[in-house]
């Protein structure tokens, strides 16, 4: 029985190591620059916040100011930010509205096109906006937090739990986030 438990633990740890190494290899076209970016190279500091986003989701619009605040507050502390759109293709017609959105919104971050939904499936994202926080480790990139930005998408003034902000502060202190996953609320991601 002990051998079976040990074998199971070993296989589980190898699975986590394999997944964390695979995250670094993910690549996608940035609608803003037209360049293909690799996730492992986007993380040059203490981590990265990936935000699943869509121009068609009203929840994404509701969170726009909060995303700007978080980016401006944490980017100088070594946390990178990127939006990921799982609903568009790499066509120029799809990229133009994304570029215009970044220019007009003032978000000033990469807007990755998840054509084929490889990132969505890898991270098992199901909502817009849903965040994934990755940090570098000895085994590659590891998920430290996933889920909701906070507990009230409709009214920023009524927010009582700032889940992402708390997780980022804990990561910067070298701690594990108290809640590593909080259910995201928003538009459903249609997977295909």
Q: What is the mean pLDDT of residues 151-166?
A: 93
Query: Which segments of 26-111 does DSSP mark as H helices, in order?
Result: 39-42, 58-62, 64-74, 92-105
Overall number of domains in the chain = 1
- pLDDT score for 125: 97
- Split at pLDDT 50, 70, 90, the class of 57 is very high
Q: Rounded distance, CA 49 to CA 131, Å?
A: 7
Q: What is the mean pLDDT of residues 69-78?
A: 96
Task: State the CATH number of the domain containing residue 28.
Answer: 3.40.30.10
- Split at pLDDT 50, 70, 90, the class of 3 is low
Q: List the domain range (segments joined by +) for residue 145.
A: 2-188
> What integer best gives the mean pLDDT of the chain?
89
Q: Give the pTM.
A: 0.87
């Amino acid at each position: 029985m002990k051998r079976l438990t040990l074998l199971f633990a070993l296989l589980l740890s190898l699975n986590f190591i394999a997944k964390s190494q695979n995250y670094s290899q993910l690549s996608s076209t940035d609608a803003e620059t037209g360049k293909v970016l690799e996730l492992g190279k986007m993380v040059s500091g203490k981590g990265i916040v990936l935000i699943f986003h869509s121009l068609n989701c009203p929840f994404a619009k509701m969170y726009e100011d909060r995303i700007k605040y978080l980016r401006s507050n944490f980017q100088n502390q070594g946390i990178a930010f990127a939006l990921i759109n799982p609903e568009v293709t790499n066509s120029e017609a799809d990229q133009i509205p994304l570029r215009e959105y970044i220019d007009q919104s003032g978000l000033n971050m990469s807007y990755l096109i998840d054509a084929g939904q490889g990132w969505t499936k890898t991270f098992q994202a199901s909502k817009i906006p849903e965040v994934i926080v990755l940090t570098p480790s000895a085994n590659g990139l590891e998920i430290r937090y996933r889920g909701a930005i906070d507990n009230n998408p409709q009214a920023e003034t009524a927010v009582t739990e700032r889940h992402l902000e708390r997780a980022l502060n804990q990561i910067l202190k070298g701690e594990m986030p108290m809640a590593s996953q909080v259910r995201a609320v928003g538009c459903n991601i249609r997977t295909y």
